[in-house]
Amino acid sequence: MPNFAYINNKFVNFKSAKIHIEDRGLQFADSVYEVIAVLDNNLIDLDFHLKRLKYSLRELEIKFIINKKNLTNIFLNLIKKNKTRNGIIYLQITRGIQFREHKYQKNLIPTLIVYTRNKSFNLPGKKFVGVNTITYQDLRWKRRDIKTVNLLPNIIAANMAKKKNAYEAILIQNGKVTEGTSSNIWIIKRNNLITHPANSDILKGVTRTSLLKIIKKTKLKLIEKQFTHKQLINADEVFLTSSGSFITPILKIDNKKINNGKIGNITLKLAEMYTEACING
């Protein structure tokens, strides 16, 4: 457990950290968030996270000005105070405090919450492992491009995966793959790398965005389009990406082996390239 959190301009003891009972983030999930990886004390893909955070705030009309210098100072202070050499930074911004009603008032003062957690990452060159997954019906709302804390459908699907001893649930909508409960999904077929286009059906993942830049350095053909459940389970390789999982190979989907249950060569190479980019900036 971390020692400190940051709430509304103050570093506070984590155990005694509090928000107001009528904070709209608590009562309505009227709130956005980001999860930023920390690797060897370095903030990973920070600019991409802040860009997405600005987008989410704008789409929900939450009036919070992003100051990169100030936020970075908060992050680095928490990393130091909590001794988070490897882990994640959790940042949440709510619309603020108001008597409970659906219609929000203008000029509310947003609530800022930041804390860290220690975490080890699945990295090539160490103990790089693949995971098992399930598929599950996508029951979420239609603005998945906004990174809101309203995650109940994701929680239901993720816990179904947990019950089946799987790492992640891959969400299916009208027979086509959207994404995971907290990850983007990629398939490889005959040197074609396919992932869902960044539209309102998925969250534009930060690791996804970073990986797109890396792919340009390879001979892989990138195709951003929807793909079917059938294409998913018949792919040569499958992997997921997220800030908490980086690039993680998928070895089974609904107990069906992918690539004979082994980590694919292309997935491994992309993971190595992404890890190198994280370490070397």
Q: Which phi and psi (to 5°) does residue 51 adopt? A: -65, -45
The distance of Cα 35 from the centroid of its chain, to the nearest Å, equals: 6
Mapped onto helix, strand or coil, the DSSP state of residue 150 is coil
- 54 catalytic, yes or no? no
Q: Do residues 243 and 203 lie in contact, with contact meaning Cβ atoms separated by under 8 Å? A: no
Give residue 270's Cα distance to chain centre: 18
> Which of 18, 51, 81, 147 is labelled catalytic?
147
Three-class SS state of 130: coil
Residues 119 and 116: their CA atoms lie apart, in Å, by 9
Please count the other Cβ atoms lying within 10 Å of the Cβ belonging to residue 60: 16
Question: CA 92 to CA 36: how far, in whole Å?
Answer: 11
- Beta strands at 256-257 and 246-253: parallel, antiparallel or unpaired: antiparallel
Tokens 């992918």 -> residue: 258
What would the two tokens of residue 152 be? 């109940």
Q: Which distant-in-sequence residues (6+ apart) come within 8 Å of 215 by Cβ?
A: 193, 222, 270
Cα–Cα distance for residue pair 93/110, rounded to 1 Å: 6
Instruction: Assign 3-state DSSP to the chain and report helix, strand, coil percentages, each to 5.
Output: 30, 30, 40
Q: How far is CA 86 from the centre of its chain?
A: 16
Catalytic residue set:
147
